[in-house]
Every structure is written in structure tokens, then in C-alpha cells.
Amino acid sequence: MTIRKKILVGMALVFLFTVTGCSDKSNGLSINPEIYEYTPAMSSVPGIALTASFQRDLKNKNYKFHWIAEQGIFLTWHDDGKGRIEVLGNDIKTNVHKVYWTVNPEQAIKEDSFTIYLTVENIDTDEIMYETNIVILQQKEGYFSIKK
């Protein structure tokens, strides 16, 4: 095989792997944090903003977001000029693609790391269309960071 053919075959394999991607349900869905480090002592934000992002178009689809936190709770921060925060809990289903994760003031977090899970589910059938997760680290008490 000539060098030119080897290069073409190599390029074709790279293209094939790039196009096909992973076969699990995470393809097309990711969780994008707005900040990568957080402590409850930060007064400027109520928690780590987490946004569900898609590589595929989900317009006109009947879906909901199912967020689960092994530790901590989710909040919404209403942009109504009043800074109103609503506690949602640690296992929520919503049509909103952005939530905030924070520490539950009633429960200390002792784990060094824990996971936030996100699934996109069909509203009518509860079928999981996509799923992904991120890991949050607690390297010292009360200081949290997103594992990269």
C-alpha cells in the first residue's frame, strides 16, 4: 500500500470515528457549568449554574429535564429584579434547562466527590432520550469544584 493510500485510509478512519461518536445516550447532551469553583460564602451567586446543552435540535419535541444530585440541592434564580430564589430539591423534573446546584444547609456534605445526573425524558412516555453527568469535588470542607 502506498503512502498516499495509507493517509487516505487513516483520514477515513478518523472521519468515521468522529461522525459515529459514542453509542450511549449521552451523545448530544452536556452539562455546562457557568463557574467551576464555588463556596456558599460567595455572596454573588446562589450556587453553581448548570445548563443543559444540546448538539441536536430539540425544538417541537415533548421533553423534560430530570436533574438528580447525590449531594446538595437545586435552585432556580428568578431574573425578576428581586433576586428571588426557589428551592427545588435534589431530584427534580422541569422544563427549564438551567438550574443552580448548592449545598443543602440542613445536611453537611462529607463526601470528597459526588455526581450530578441529567436525563432528557419524553414527557408522555418517560423514555430517556439522552443522559449525562458531571462530578463535583470537595477538596476541602465547603469548597466545591467541577471535575474537568
The pTM of this model reads 0.78
Reference 38, options 119, 117, 116; nearest CA is 116
Mean pLDDT of the chain: 83
Q: What residues form DSSP beta bridges with 121?
A: 64, 128
pLDDT of 93: 96
With bands split at pLDDT 50, 70 and 90, how would you rate the model's confidence at 111?
very high
Residue ranges of domains in the chain, CATH in brackets: 25-146 (2.60.40)
Rounded to whole angstroms, how far apart are CA atoms 121 and 29?
12
Strand order in the sheet with 29-33: 29-33, 48-54, 98-102, 73-77, 85-89
Please compute the mean of the pLDDT values over residues 50-54 and round it to a whole number.
93
Give, in order, the Cα–Cα distances in Å from 99 to each of 37, 139, 141. 16, 23, 23
